[in-house]
């Protein structure tokens, strides 16, 4: 009887563990299957590097370069915000914050990380966009700049809390060794603790970027939606995720447009996959470096 | 007086928060001698030794009373420069703690943080210190490998070398062989005996044989108090305190 129960449990947990693998396979297969008609009938590189995205014209144009560029621009912009603010917050928490400051800041960061993106979107639309528009006198506040800003703010808590984890993983003995040699706190931080946490901090940044790349709601709401390669950061743009979300509902199932949208999804999938693999490689190196096992 | 005192603790009390951990300790550490601190685990040996280079400053709520004099100057005086104190009083920790950097960079660190830029000088000092720590022959072909690739015993000798680079006057060892095998332990002990010609050494150990082998003077601590202090030979042969005798004969600890 006990034997049987153990076998049963083993089976249940094995099945549950493989469920995620099953989902992943299902997702990849679906993406491939639905984008296949498009990939077969269109030159892949022509579309990826094509300038015009006019999916509903006749004949239609499926140039995705403006969408891909838009994703890159807002992601890059988000990095400019979330890296300094996130890493700076982590350093502050780790090095300078008093116990009571930490007690306030840490839960606050977790709350920020848990806010649904649509709320960030609202905030961007109602507060930030009009403000930017008035401040800079640009035609619309719904543009790549605002999207970058909001995405960056959104990714900041992820970066901050993961980077803080990386810093706190650095064994105290490294700090002690450094201080015992007569290093001051700043030298200890920049020359021992940060290099030791370096790949952990990089992983934090990469995962933050991953969050920005895949984010849909915010860019749908505040990026402006123009499928044109932006001339400046203050132009409206239409990132890949926003395109999928906006157009999926209005397209005919099985049409070229429908399949093209899945192709965008496929590209997005591979970009995020690549980001995750890089993050994993770096964090593995990090553990090795600290002698925390393989 | 012919006693050549390097460090002198005078009526030292130490608190972790509200807990009185060291009680009225007065102890002289003599120049170019090895002084061993022994006693059961938790009696305050590490706490005491970490007072001597102000490592306990890092602990929130820690408080010291009394005086600790290095060459007659109070190291807890508000005007004392902690950085230069720590360069004069080096420390080797219980668990080897090389930085996750190359062997060379581990040693060069102590020099570059004080602004030394002369590459030839740094290289000379690094090699010199590795030789003094009896490690050079084992690592001379891989100075630029990560120090964490070394064995535990080698890592600990690297930590000793790293400490020597900055030319300290005193070296504090906190159970330096606690995590090492007997052969590595023996090497560390031999090294300590060699270093004694040039440095003042204080070593915490809960291994009595080790204290007997390496030290000139021994201090026995119990529950935060200094029970007995004197010549190692005398302490081990004719202890004056009953407690010392019982500890040395293995009745507790
Ligand atoms: N950072 C600390 N905060 C509070 N109490 C401590 C701290 N470090 C050590 N103690 C306590 O102080 C006492 C002495 O510890 P320690 O000096 O490490 O002893 P030993 O090195 O002789 O084993 C122990 O009771 C220990 O629990
Ligand atoms: Mg100890």
In three-state form (DSSP H/G/I as H, E/B as E, the rest C), the secondary structure along A147-214 is HHHHHHHHHHHHHHHHHHHHHHHCCHHHHHHHHHCCCCHHHHHHHHHHHHHHHHHHHHHHHHHHHHHH
User: Mean pLDDT over residues A153-175, rounded?
Assistant: 93
Q: Considering only CA atoms, which residue is closest to atom 24 of ligand 1?
A: B42
**Amino acid A41: pLDDT:** 87
Task: Say whether B99 and A192 touch across the interface (CB within 8 A).
Answer: yes
> Does the CB atom of residue B244 touch ligand 1 within 6 A?
no
How confident is the model at residue B217, as a pLDDT?
97
Q: In angstroms, what separates the C-alpha of A188 from chain B's closest C-alpha?
A: 9
Identity of the residue in B55, B60, B148 whose CB atom sits nearest the CB atom of A180: B55
- Which of A180, A196, A289 minimises the CB distance to B53? A180
Residues 6+ apart with CB under 8 A from A103: none
Give the closest ligand to the alpha carbon of residue B61: 1
Q: pTM value? A: 0.82
Structure confidence by residue, pLDDT tens digits, A23-59? 999 999 999 999 999 988 888 888 888 888 998 888 8
Contacts of residue A198 in chain B, CB cutoff 8 Å? none
Q: Which residue of A has its CA nearest to B113?
A: A183
B58/A187 CB distance under 8 A:
no
Closest residue to B113, CB basis, from A173, A181, A290: A181
Report, as an integer, the average pLDDT of B228-240.
Answer: 95
How close A110 comes to chain B (CA, Å)?
26
Q: How does pLDDT run across B56-91, given as a tens digit for each residue?
A: 998 989 999 999 999 999 999 999 999 999 999 999
Kindly give the distance from the C-alpha atom of residue B44 to the centroid of ligand 1, in angstroms, as a whole number: 6
Closest Cβ opposite residue A179 in set B60, B86, B166: B86
How big is the CA angle at B194 (ends B190 and B200), to the nearest 5 degrees?
115
Contact B86 A178 (CB under 8 A): no
pLDDT in tens, B82-140: 999 999 999 999 999 999 999 999 999 999 999 999 999 999 999 999 999 999 999 99
Spell out which residues of chain A touch residue B60, defining contact as CB-CB under 8 Å.
99
Q: Strand B89-92 to strand B170-174: parallel, antiparallel, or no bridges (unpaired)?
A: parallel
Average pLDDT over every residue of A259-287:
88
Q: Would you say the CB of residue B59 lies under 6 angstroms from ligand 1?
A: yes
Query: A291 to chain B: which residues are within 8 Å by CB?
Result: 100, 148
Which stretches of chain A are DSSP H helices? 2-41, 44-48, 65-91, 99-114, 117-123, 129-136, 144-169, 172-180, 185-187, 194-214, 217-222, 240-247, 256-289
Residues of chain A with Cβ-Cβ distance to B87 below 8 Å are 181-182
Quick one: which atom of ligand 1 is closest to the CA of B47?
17
Mean pLDDT of chain B: 94
Residue A104 distance to chain B (closest CA, Å): 19
Residue A288 has pLDDT above 80, yes or no: no
Give yes or no for a contact between B37 and B203, defined as CB atoms under 8 angstroms apart. yes
Residue A294 pLDDT: 36
Residue in A25, A34, A21 with CA at minimum distance from that of residue A266: A34
Reply yes or no on domain B5-96+170-248 having CATH 3.40.50.300: yes
In tens, the pLDDT along A228-259 reads 899 999 999 999 999 999 999 888 888 889 99
For the complex shown, is ipTM > 0.90? yes
Q: What is the pLDDT of residue B43?
A: 95
Give mean pLDDT, residues B33-41.
95
Return the percentage of chain A with pLDDT > 90, whole number.
64
What secondary structure letter does DSSP report for B52?
T
Q: What is the pLDDT of residue B2?
A: 56
């Amino acid at each position: 009887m006990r034997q049987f129960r153990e076998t049963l449990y083993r089976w249940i947990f094995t099945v549950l563990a493989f469920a995620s693998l099953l989902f992943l396979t299902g997702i990849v297969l679906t993406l491939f299957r639905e984008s296949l008609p498009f990939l077969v009938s269109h030159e892949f590189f022509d579309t990826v590097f094509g300038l015009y995205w006019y999916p509903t014209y006749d004949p239609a144009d499926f140039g995705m370069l403006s969408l891909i560029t838009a994703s890159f621009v807002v992601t890059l912009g988000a990095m400019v915000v979330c890296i300094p603010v996130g890493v700076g917050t982590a350093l502050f928490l780790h090095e300078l914050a008093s116990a009571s400051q930490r007690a306030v800041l840490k839960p606050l960061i977790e709350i920020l990380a848990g806010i649904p993106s649509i709320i960030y979107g609202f905030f961007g639309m109602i507060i930030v966009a009009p403000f930017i528009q008035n401040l800079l006198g640009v035609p619309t506040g719904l543009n790549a700049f605002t999207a970058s800003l909001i995405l960056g703010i959104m990714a900041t808590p992820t970066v901050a809390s993961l980077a803080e984890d990386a810093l706190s993983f650095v064994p105290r003995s490294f700090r002690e060794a450094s201080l015992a040699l007569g290093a001051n706190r700043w030298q200890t931080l920049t020359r021992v603790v940060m290099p030791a946490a370096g790949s952990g901090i990089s992983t934090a940044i990469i995962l933050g970027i991953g969050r920005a790349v895949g984010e849909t709601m915010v860019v749908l709401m505040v990026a402006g939606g123009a499928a044109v390669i932006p001339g400046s950061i203050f132009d409206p743009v239409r990132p890949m995720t926003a395109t999928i979300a906006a157009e999926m509902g209005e397209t005919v199932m099985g049409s070229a447009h429908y399949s093209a949208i899945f192709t965008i999804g496929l590209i997005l999938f591979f970009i995020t996959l690549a980001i995750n693999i890089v993050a994993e490689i770096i964090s593995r190196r990090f553990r090795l470096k600290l002698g925390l096992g393989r | 007086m012919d006693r050549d005192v390097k460090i002198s603790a005078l009526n030292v009390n130490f608190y972790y928060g509200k807990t009185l951990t060291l009680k009225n300790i007065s102890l002289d550490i003599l120049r170019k001698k090895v002084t061993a601190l022994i006693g059961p685990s938790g009696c305050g040996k590490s706490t005491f030794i970490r007072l001597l280079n102000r490592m306990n400053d890092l602990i929130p709520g820690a408080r010291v009373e009394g005086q600790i004099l290095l060459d007659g100057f109070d190291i807890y005086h508000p005007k004392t420069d902690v950085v230069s104190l720590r360069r004069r009083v080096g420390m080797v920790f219980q668990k080897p703690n090389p930085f996750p950097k190359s062997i060379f960079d581990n040693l060069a660190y102590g020099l570059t943080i004080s602004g030394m830029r002369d590459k030839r000088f740094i290289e000379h000092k690094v090699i010199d210190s590795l030789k003094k720590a009896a490690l050079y022959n084992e690592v001379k072909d891989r100075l630029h490998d990560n120090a964490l690739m070394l064995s535990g015993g080698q890592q600990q000798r690297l930590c000793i070398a790293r400490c020597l680079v900055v030319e300290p006057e005193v070296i504090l060892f906190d159970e330096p062989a606690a995590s090492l095998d007997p052969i590595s332990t023996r090497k560390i002990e031999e090294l300590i005996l060699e270093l004694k010609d040039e440095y003042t050494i204080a070593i915490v150990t809960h291994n009595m044989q080790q204290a007997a082998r390496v030290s000139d003077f021994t201090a026995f601590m119990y529950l935060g108090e200094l029970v007995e202090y004197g010549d190692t030979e005398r302490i081990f042969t004719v202890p004056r305190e009953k407690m010392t005798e019982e500890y040395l004969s293995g009745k507790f600890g």
